[in-house]
Amino acid sequence: MKVEDIKNIAVIGSGTMGHGIAQIAATAGYNVTMVDVNNEILARAIEKIKWSLEKLAEKRRIKPEDVSLILSRIKTTTRLEDAAESADVAIEAIPEKIELKKELFARLDQLASKHAILATNTSSLSITEISRSTSRPDKIVGMHFFNPPQLMSLCEVIKGQFTSDETLSITAELAKKMGKTVIICKKDVRGFIVNRVLGAVFNEVFWTVYRKESTIEEVDASVKYKAGFPMGIFELADYVGLDVLANVAKVMYEAYGERMKPCPLATSLLNEGKLGQKTSQGFYDWSIGRPRIKFTLAGKYDINRVYTVAVNEAAWLIHEDVADPVDIDTGMKLGAGWPSGPCELGDRLGLDVVLGKLRDMYSKYGEEMYRPCPLLEDYVGKGRLGKKTGQGFYIYK
Ligand code: CAA
Ligand code: NAD
């Protein structure tokens, strides 16, 4: 199959991510069939798509007359077979549970035609393990969009152990046709590229608040107004979904152990079903719209702590040959809206400065999450300190 042969796309799951993926696929001209477990959920998803398209039309990002045209390309069904049988590509966006995904992929494999590529939007799970539940592991691939898919211009494409080069390149081409910049995750590691860095950052701020060293509002005001992140980190946690984050945190802990030790800060919210924006309550009250984060609290949390753990995680990704600095930086800028990527930041701050801060944090807390990556130690040992010495993650002429 060539990317030009793709006409029909099945999107399984119509929640936070599924409806957005269906929308961008239809906007790119594909016929989309969106699947969910009941018609009420599907009706809500269509409403959200309609709202989003109208918003984009209002901003002249699409033509007003295209709103109904794009909507007409999206069908909905509760019967997987209705979507799978005609699909050239299926994109799965159901909850982050490996058993659910394996069961779905086994069914998709039986229903879809032999040429179809089956992609997963998983945040963290093993593409290879999912592919083992099918008879076409070469056609199983990670296609990781970012929330909201309508506005975030990144797609991470992930190669599982058995994914063929052809599947990888068709998937990357498809993501580009859907308007995305693609970064390739070279290894099927848990959390891939962007969620590895975000995971380290979430852990740092969650534990900081859990230890009562800062408040949620102080962290969010500082990262938003001092670091220029588009959202506070707790605001982002609510936006992503505390259930999604908890599932991802579990996967990361299983893979990386104490280095990614999850924090119990959100446990009581989760138990009360307060999952963030989608349930109107989480760390913030979303029933009155986006949280208003007080500017006066900016600076009460040291944003260098976030930079430090982000740079360290970027170093781990390079050390493990998962990604290179350019892809990591592109990932964080386009996938999470950061003004600079962690490798650029590290080089600007000075890798010796970052390493010094990590060492201080590691000796203060004794937590593995602050243990410096050997690559960082190596760079600093060799005098690769960043911009000031002409070489750090990058070379400066
Ligand atoms: N479709 C169309 N328009 C939308 C929209 C959507 N889905 N969502 C928001 N908008 C509109 C808003 O209504 C608003 O329009 P108005 O100006 O008319 O009110 C406009 O976009 C801008 O929105 P906001 O004013 O609310 O806020 P903003 O300027 O901060 O932009 C944002 C919103 C693009 C989401 C930005 O806050 C951002 O980049 N946030 C970070 C998101 C992020 O990090 N995503 C990755 C999460 S991790 C992940 O996805 C991976 C995983 O596996 C968990
Ligand atoms: P969500 O809970 O908002 O939506 C999941 C949807 O799947 C629900 O509507 C649910 O009814 C439906 N569903 C469950 N089982 C199904 C089945 N067997 N068949 C069809 N539909 C089924 O979840 P989400 O946040 O959209 O996450 C979906 C996937 O995308 C997860 O793997 C998540 O890790 C990943 N992801 C999430 C985000 C995010 O910010 N929320 C970002 C990127 C990737």
Per-residue pLDDT reduced to its tens digit, 240-277: 999 999 999 999 999 999 999 999 999 999 999 999 99
Identify whether residues 208 and 326 lie together within a single domain.
no
AA letter at 171: T
By alpha-carbon position, which residue is closest to atom 10 of ligand 2? 13
Indicate which CATH number applies to the domain containing 363: 1.10.1040.10
Per-residue pLDDT at 136 exceeds 90: yes
What is the mean pLDDT of the segment spanning 47-62?
Answer: 97
Per-residue pLDDT at 397 exceeds 90: no
Identify whether residues 252 and 130 lie together within a single domain.
no
Residue 395 lies in a domain: no
Question: Which residue range(s) make up the domain with 357?
Answer: 304-389
How far is ligand 2, taken at its centre, from the CA of residue 239, in Å? 13
Identify whether residues 21 and 115 lie together within a single domain.
yes
**Minimum-distance ligand 2 atom for the alpha carbon of 244:** 34
Rg of the chain on CA atoms, in Å = 21
Ligand 2 pocket, 12 CB below 6 A? yes
Is the previous residue joined to 148 through a cis bond, with omega within 30 degrees of 0? yes
102-106 — which CB contacts under 8 Å span 24+ positions? 102/129, 102/130, 102/132, 102/133, 103/133, 104/12, 104/80, 105/130, 105/131, 105/133, 105/134, 105/140, 106/133, 106/134
Residue 148 lies in a domain: yes
Q: What is the pTM of this model?
A: 0.97
Please give the pLDDT value at position 56.
98
Q: Nearest to residue 174, comparing CAs of 139, 198, 148?
A: 139
What is the DSSP code string of 26-68? Answer: HHTT-EEEEE-SSHHHHHHHHHHHHHHHHHHHHTTSS-TTHHH
Identify whether residues 91 and 156 lie together within a single domain.
yes
AA letter at 62: I
Ligand 1 pocket, 233 CB below 6 A? no
Q: 115 an active-site residue?
A: no
How far is ligand 1, taken at its centre, from the CA of residue 318, in Å? 29
Domain edge (last residue) among 280, 297, 314: 297
Report the b/e string of 194-222 with b at 16+ CB within 10 A: bbbbbbbbbbbbbbbbeeeebebbbbbbb
Residue 397 lies in a domain: no
By alpha-carbon position, which residue is closest to atom 33 of ligand 1? 230
**Minimum-distance ligand 1 atom for the alpha carbon of 194:** 51
Q: What share of the chain has pLDDT > 90, as a percent?
A: 99
Ligand 1 pocket, 350 CB below 6 A? no
Question: What distance in Å separates the CA atoms of residue 188 and residue 205, rounded to the nearest whole number?
Answer: 26
By alpha-carbon position, which residue is closest to atom 37 of ligand 1? 230
8 A C-beta contact, residue 49 and residue 71: yes
CA atoms within 13 A on the CB side of 105: 31
CB atoms within 10 A of CB 388: 15
pLDDT class for 314, splitting at 50, 70, 90? very high
Please give the pLDDT value at position 133.
98
Per-residue pLDDT at 222 exceeds 90: yes
pLDDT class for 202, splitting at 50, 70, 90? very high
How far is ligand 2, taken at its centre, from the CA of residue 15, in Å? 5
For all residues of the chain together, what is the average pLDDT? 97
Identify whether residues 85 and 114 lie together within a single domain.
yes
pLDDT class for 226, splitting at 50, 70, 90? very high
